[in-house]
Amino acid sequence: MTVQEQTPQEPSHVSRRTFIKVVIASGAAVSASAYLFRGPTLLGQGSLPGAVERLMTLNVNGQMRRVDVMKQETLAMTLRYKLGLTGTKLGCDRSECGACTVLIDDVPHYSCSILTHTVRAKKILTIEGLETANGTLHPVQQAVVDEQGFQCAFCMSGFIMATVGFLKTNPDPTRAELAHGISGNLCRCMDYDKILRSMMRAAQYMQRTT
């Protein structure tokens, strides 16, 4: 799920290697995850060759959001700290835990390892975008509520997004197929039994609604 989504019209070809290099160059490698660029001009960082436009429009949860993005900024950072969508969680910031999973054009991705610049013109869906405007929960959310799934729930939005994405490709999974489909997410409360039961119920709900 860490495959880089390339946009054809993207002026800079941002590979994973370049991504890591940029992060290191920005001094962020000292910590696992330096973030936040509230005062980006302070450092007076010069543009790298092939630098991209900073002001961009993102399609998030069906809304067009204008946002100022640094070139090394990950989608998780943009969502959480620029757009205030804190339902997307950062558990590891390195594609290990899945807490930051969001859908990009209906496909689950680790938003900690996607550069925001690579997702312009794509549809991004986060946990905040699942509930309808009148407050009806998405069937996957409703199933979690009905099974009292998860414990601390820090991993929950990632698991829910991974399930929403997986059920689009396999709407009638077996328990084993579903487990495989969401195995890119870790739950440290280890509530896997209730999670699987919730998500199997979700598959039933989805079939009923479609």
Partner 1 sequence: MADKKLVGQNYTTPDLRAKVTGRSKYAEDFRAEGMLFARLLLSPFPHARIQSIDTRAALAMPGVRAILTADDVPGPKDQVSDAGVVIRANPRSEKALTNEPLYQGEPVLAVAAVDELTAVEAIEKIKIRWERLPFSVDPVASLLPGAMNARVEGNVWVRPTPVQGQPAPLPEVIDLKWTEAEVEEYKAGRLPMGKDTDPSWSYGDIEAGFKKASLILDETFVTPNTSHQCLESRTSMAYWQNGKLFIHLSTQSTVQTVMSVVRWLSIEPENVVLISEYCGGGYGSKGTGTVSDVIPALLAKKTGTPVQMRISREEEHSIGGGRPAVHGRMKVGFTKEGRITAVDMFTVVEGGPYGPGNDGNTASRFASLLFQPEAMRWRGVTAITNTPPRRAQSQPGGMQGIVLMEPVVAKAARRLGIDQVEIRKINAPAGKARFGAADARGNRTYTTSCFVKEALDKGAQIFKWDERKARNGQREGSKVRGSGVAISAYNAGSVGFDGLFVIKPDGRMYIQTGIGNLGTESFSDCQRVAAEMMGMPWEKCELTWGDTSRNLPWSCVSGGSQTTHAMTRAAHATATDAIKKLQQIAAKDLGGRPEDYVVANERVARRGGGAGMTLAHAAQRAIELGGMYDGHEVPKEINAFTKRSAAALAGQGLMGVAKDAYPRDGASVSFVAAFAEVEADVETGVYRILDYLCVADVGTVIHPASLGGQVLGRSILGIGHAIGQRWVYDQQYGVALARRFYQNKPPSILDVPAHMDWAAVELPDPETPVGARGIGEPPVAAGCCAVLNAISAAVGDEVFVRAPVTLDHIVTALEMGRPTQARLTANV
Binding residues for partner 1, per CB under 8 A?
26-28, 30-40, 42-43, 80, 85-94, 96-97, 99, 126-128, 130-131, 137, 141, 144-148, 150-157, 160, 175-176, 179-180, 182-183, 185-196
The nearest distance, CB 81 to partner 1, in angstroms, is 8
List of residues 6+ apart from 167 with CB closer than 8 A: 140, 173, 202, 203, 206
The nearest distance, CB 20 to partner 1, in angstroms, is 15
List of residues 6+ apart from 20 with CB closer than 8 A: none
Angle at CA 127, nearest 5°, toward 32 and 202? 120
* Complex with partner 1: residue 119 or 161, whichever CB lies closer: 161
* Complex with partner 1: residue 7 or 81, whichever CB lies closer: 81
* Complex with partner 1: residue 52 or 97, whichever CB lies closer: 97
**Euclidean distance between CA atoms 48 and 143, whole angstroms:** 47
* Complex with partner 1: residue 48 or 121, whichever CB lies closer: 48
The nearest distance, CB 17 to partner 1, in angstroms, is 19
The nearest distance, CB 6 to partner 1, in angstroms, is 25
* Complex with partner 1: residue 6 or 174, whichever CB lies closer: 174
The nearest distance, CB 9 to partner 1, in angstroms, is 29
- Cα dihedral 62, 66, 67, 69 in deg (nearest 10): 90
What one-character-per-residue DSSP string does 171-197 give?
Answer: SS--HHHHHHHTTT---TT--HHHHHH
| Residues 1 and 109 sit within 8 Å (Cβ to Cβ) | yes
